[in-house]
Amino acid sequence: MLSAADDYPIHQIAEPVRYAGTSDRNFYDRYYFNLHASSGELFMVMGMGQYPNLAVQDAFCLLRRGTEHRVVRASRELGDRMDTTVGPFRIEVLEPLHRLRFVLEPNEWGLAADLIWEGAIPAFEEPRHHIRLHGRVLFDTMRLAQTGRWSGILHVDGEDIPVTPDRWKGTRDRSWGVRPVGEPEPAGIRADQPLFFNLWNYAPMQFDDHSILYIVQEWADGQRVMDEAVRVWADPAREPEWLGRPEHELSIRPGTREVDSAVISFPQAPGGAFDVRVTHLLEAHIGIGTGYGFDADWRHGMWQGPLVVQGVSLDVEADRDRFFGIVDCVARFESSTGEVGYGLHEYLFLGPHEKYGFTSFMDVP
């Protein structure tokens, strides 16, 4: 199983790079990107992952425009881990931690792209994410995060949309480690317990000369699995500034688990407390059709065959009953200190959460 990566001095164990340091089936290594025009006109979310112990590599591109939810997705057998192509998808690392290229070749589903990502801040190492339940490690992951700008071209149904860095922005992450992937496993003793967590809330906010990276993960009673709030400056000579324990007030749309808006607070920030008001511009249910969710036919790392390429097209109004789970939103961020920025507001409510009035797996208040 020698591959191109084996000619680089990057080995961590006494095996070819193709083999992970653990035989856990859930080991993964993924790219995530999103793209928006600092507005609600469209939102695109893209990803690619490798699952070495499942011998699968897959990719997706999700376009939300108007009420349309369109996904192009592909999966193949994993071979050389340096080969970041899956059917019409390709990711190229042009300048590590700074410039990458995302390509979706023209296909029968009318969505294609050739885009260059350039980081607006230095790539930032987020806290290690570790959850053990009844002895089993469910999560043990690392992730880097970065805000940035896009340039290139986006093709939608024959329309060429120029993408220029003056207004086309986004966020990306690279994560790797162990988390549930592939075909569902027997739940066993964990059947009556939440598989992941009850609240996940994540917001990388991009302002003119800095970005704020915010994470909160909580169990039902509000106890935190992890949290972080840090200001990362565009100038790499300036050290990141930790903002203390963050707090959240999420405005829930009546009769749903969907968030309309939010206020994220930083009461312990150096130099004085401040708030950021979050206004959603356009949302994308990234768990539907992409592999992030509970679709029986397509999950990250699920074996689909030597090569499969598919398209999914839904309407968020006509198919409303299908849309639940994790949500990514293009958002406007207005700080009480006067700055205005744009970025991602991501959230998931799964199971009870006392603060927001949820009492069972999928009830609504």
- pLDDT at residue number 184: 86
Across 37-88, the runs of DSSP E, i.e. the strands, are 43-51, 56-65, 68-77, 85-86
- pLDDT at residue number 193: 65
Instruction: Report all structural domains of the chain as residue ranges with CATH numbers, in order of start.
Output: 22-183+195-349 (2.40.370.10)
- pLDDT at residue number 194: 58
- pLDDT at residue number 2: 87
Per-residue pLDDT of the chain (365 residues; tens, 9 = 90+): 888 999 889 999 999 999 999 999 999 999 999 999 999 999 999 999 999 999 999 999 999 999 999 999 999 999 999 999 999 999 999 999 999 999 999 999 999 999 999 999 999 999 999 988 888 898 999 999 999 999 999 999 999 999 999 999 999 999 999 999 999 888 888 777 655 679 999 999 999 999 999 999 999 999 999 999 999 999 999 999 999 999 999 999 998 999 999 999 999 999 999 999 999 999 999 999 999 987 999 999 999 999 999 999 999 999 988 898 899 999 999 999 999 999 999 999 988 999 999 998 888 87
Say which amino acid occupies 51.
Y
Whether the Cβ atoms of residue 296 and residue 335 lie closer than 8 Å to each other: no
Across 303-339, the runs of DSSP E, i.e. the strands, are 307-315, 327-335
What are the tens digits of pLDDT across the range 31-70? Answer: 999 999 999 999 999 999 999 999 999 999 999 999 999 9
Who contacts 363 (Cβ-Cβ below 8 Å, separation ≥6)?
none
In degrees, rounded to 5, the angle at the alpha carbon of residue 238 between the alpha carbons of residues 237 and 241 is 155
Q: Which two tokens stand for residue 139?
A: 């999560």
CA separation (Å) from 100 to 83, 183, 206?
Answer: 15, 30, 19
CA 339 – CA 334 distance, rounded (Å)? 6
What are the tens digits of pLDDT across the range 302-344? Answer: 999 999 999 999 999 999 888 988 999 999 999 999 999 999 9
